[in-house]
Amino acid sequence: MIVTIDGVAASGKSSVSGGVARALGVPYVSSGLLYRAATGLGLEAAVDLHDAPALLSHLQSHPLRLEPLAAGNRVWQGGRELTGELHSTRVDRGVSVVAALPEVRAWVDAQLRALPSPFVAEGRDMGTNVFPRAGAKFYLTASPHIRAVRRAQERPEDVPAIEAALVRRDELDRVQSAPAPDAVVIDTGPLTLDGVIQTILAQLPAQLTSA
C-alpha cells in the first residue's frame, strides 16, 4: 500500500505525512530529503550544481541512504548523518537546480522505487511520476503568505523574505509539481495540522486503513 502526498513548498507535506504514517503504522518517505542531500553533498564538494555528470559521479562515489521512519526521515552518507544540515536557506536556494536535472531525478526515483512498501510518500511527483498506481493520492496547497508565516516559526528570516523564496522555489519546481489528475487537492490554509491529517485519514479507502 502506498499513499502519496504531494504539494508546493512548505505546504505541510512532511508534517502531514508523518501524522498520516503514524496513524497507519507505516513509515513515510521524504523524496525531497534525497534531493536536499544530493544538493548538500554537491555544495560541500564545490561541484557545479548545473553539471549533471559531475554531480552524479560524486553521488555514485558518495552513496546516500534514506532512512524512512514515521517519526521523521534521516539521510546518511556512509556513517555520517546529513539530515540536520539540509533544511538551510543555502540548500533551499540550490535544490531546485539539482532537481531539474533528469539524471538526478532518475537516480532519486530508482532509490524510492526500491523501498519496501507500505509507506506514505511525499514530494512533488510521487502521485504522477514515481508511484502512479498509488492506492490514494493527495496534493497540499496554501497561499505563499500562509506558508511563509508558518515557516517563519522555524527560520530566522522574516516573513517577506521567506515568502519571496517560496514563490521562487514554486516557480523553479513548477514542471514536476502538477497535481495528479486523481489526487484530492486540499487547501491547508484554513486547517490545523491535525485537521489536514484527519481530512486525509477520512478519505482513505477502507482497505488501506485496515491493511
Ligand X SMILES: Nc1ncnc2c1ncn2[C@@H]1O[C@H](COP(=O)(O)OP(=O)(O)OP(=O)(O)O)[C@@H](O)[C@H]1O
Residue (39 or 188) nearer to ligand X, CB: 188
Selection from 35, 3, 60 nearest residue 169 by Cα: 35
Query: How many of the other CB atoms lie within 10 Å of CB of 82?
Result: 19
Q: Is 95 in the site for ligand L45E5XJ5 (CB under 6 A)?
A: yes
State the nearest-atom distance from the C-beta of 63 to ligand L45E5XJ5, in Å.
Answer: 19
Strands 28-30 and 119-123: parallel
Strand partners, 120: 3, 28
179-208 residues in contact with ligand L45E5XJ5 (CB under 6 A) are none
With contact defined as beta carbons under 8 Å apart, do 5 and 13 qualify? Answer: yes
Q: Categorise residue 196: left if φ over 0, alpha if ψ from -120 to 50, beta otherwise.
A: alpha
Q: Is 128 in the site for ligand L45E5XJ5 (CB under 6 A)?
A: no
State the nearest-atom distance from the C-beta of 93 to ligand L45E5XJ5, in Å.
Answer: 10
Strands 184-187 and 136-141: parallel
State the nearest-atom distance from the C-beta of 152 to ligand X, in Å.
Answer: 9
Binding at 196: pick from ligand X, ligand L45E5XJ5, none (beta carbon under 5-8 Å per type): ligand X
Q: Which residues bind ligand L45E5XJ5 (CB under 6 A)?
A: 9, 13, 31-32, 35-36, 95-96, 99, 123-126, 169, 173, 176
